[in-house]
Amino acid sequence: MHLGVLFLLIGVLLNAYVPPKIFPWFNLLSLGFPILITGYIILTFFWIFSWKKRVFVFMFLGLFFLNPVKRWVNYSSESKETANLKIVSFNIRSGKGGIDKIKDYLDQQNADIIFIQEENGQLKLNDLEGEYSLPVIRLYSKYKIVSRKNLFENLSDGDITAQCEQIDLEIKGKIYRVFNVHLESFGVVKSMVKLNGNNVEDEQKIKNVVKKLIPTFKAHQEQVQVIRESIDNSPYPVIVAGDFNSVPNSYEYYKVSEGLKDTFYEVGRGSGTSFHDYKYPLRIDYIFTSESIKPVSYKVDHDIKLSDHFPVIATFKIN
């Protein structure tokens, strides 16, 4: 059993190398990483209490999963740097939690840049400018917008929930390229994943969910390739933020984060869970930056339940 869990965990790590269009099941495993790693730890303790020498083998192999675990739960030491850039990323679920309450919360943050997903054109903030140029997403900024581009304009599937805007901002006399991301939604709701104990019905529900997940994984591959090319071709430092509809250790995570810093991994503390509509740990909102941008703090505001996502707040030091 322990070896079986180990092989499944290795399958999760293979997402760094195997794209969904070749083998999507590794990406499916990434969703179960919290359960798999918990099972691995419990079985390791079983060997400890059984006084079996094999525990040393499993403890050694478990070290390979320390970094993957830190992408879900992290306890970084507090940075002593002084931040001069504050960023908020928040999927507001079309303002269903109360657009006025969302506005008041975001105004109180006094952020320099705010990335909004699932926006419907209603949100107006006091001290930040934000042009509603694409469905689903909007960027608010204190800084001058130099240029903007719809990256997903020519995608083959044309799904309206898939949006990414590339925006060049002049921040403190220097140009930065930011990406506001909302990868394609899975279209899965609570009723689709809630099992009722009826074996036949539950089995059909699982099959229906998998039928939605697999094609979306493949669509994500095309979307992250477009983002990746734009990051690689950027002459400026980049900030990539938003709702990726993908968990840590997924293909999407590995592909987008190549050569970038995951702010939560660098300075986050506690749980990174950012989607709370299901009673299951799902971290799907991220802020990635170039190496030259130094993360100072990262917080998922678990006290704010104005959406099915929690707001993600990070500060940085830039020259």
Mean pLDDT split into 10-residue runs, the chain, 319 residues: 96 96 95 96 92 91 95 91 96 94 96 95 86 87 94 79 95 96 80 60 72 91 96 98 97 98 96 91 97 96 96 95
Q: Are strands 85-91 and 113-119 parallel, antiparallel or unpaired?
A: parallel
25 residue type, one letter: W
Query: Which residues, in sequence order, are bridge partners of residue 168?
Result: 147, 177
CA angle 103, 113, 93 (to 5 degrees): 45
Indicate the number of domains in the chain.
2
Residues 101 and 12 in one domain: no
Residues 246 and 278 in one domain: yes
Residues 20 and 81 in one domain: no
> Collapsing DSSP states into helix, strand and coil, what is residue 30?
helix
Q: Where are the alpha helices (DSSP H) in the chain?
A: 2-13, 25-31, 33-49, 54-62, 66-70, 99-109, 190-193, 199-232, 251-257, 263-267
Residues 133 and 49 in one domain: no
Residues 201-226 have pLDDT tens digits of 667 767 877 888 999 999 999 999 99
Confidence at residue 198, expressed as pLDDT on a 0 to 100 scale: 63
Cα 244 from chain centroid? 5
Mutual angle of helices 54-62 and 33-49, in 10-degree steps: 150
Confidence at residue 131, expressed as pLDDT on a 0 to 100 scale: 79
Residues 232-272 have pLDDT tens digits of 999 999 999 999 999 999 999 999 999 999 999 999 999 99
State the residue range of the domain holding 15.
Answer: 2-70
Question: Which of these three, 70, 86, 101, is where a domain ends?
Answer: 70
Confidence at residue 192, expressed as pLDDT on a 0 to 100 scale: 53
| Count of other CB atoms within 10 angstroms of residue 9 | 22
Residues 221 and 183 in one domain: yes
Residues 125 and 143 in one domain: yes
Residues 124 and 178 in one domain: yes
Question: Can you give the three-state secondary structure of 105-143, one letter per residue?
Answer: HHHHHCCCEEEEEEECCCCCCCCCEECCCCCEEEEEECC
Residues 132 and 50 in one domain: no
Confidence at residue 319, expressed as pLDDT on a 0 to 100 scale: 83
Residues 134 and 191 in one domain: yes
Residues 18 and 145 in one domain: no
Question: Which of these three, 54, 70, 86, is where a domain ends?
Answer: 70
Confidence at residue 196, expressed as pLDDT on a 0 to 100 scale: 61
Which residue do the tokens 């609570």 mark? Answer: 190
Confidence at residue 194, expressed as pLDDT on a 0 to 100 scale: 60
| Separate counts of helices (H) and strands (E) for the chain | 10, 14
Domain CATH for 133: 3.60.10.10
Residues 176 and 287 in one domain: yes
Question: Which of these three, 19, 42, 70, is where a domain ends?
Answer: 70
Residues 158 and 278 in one domain: yes
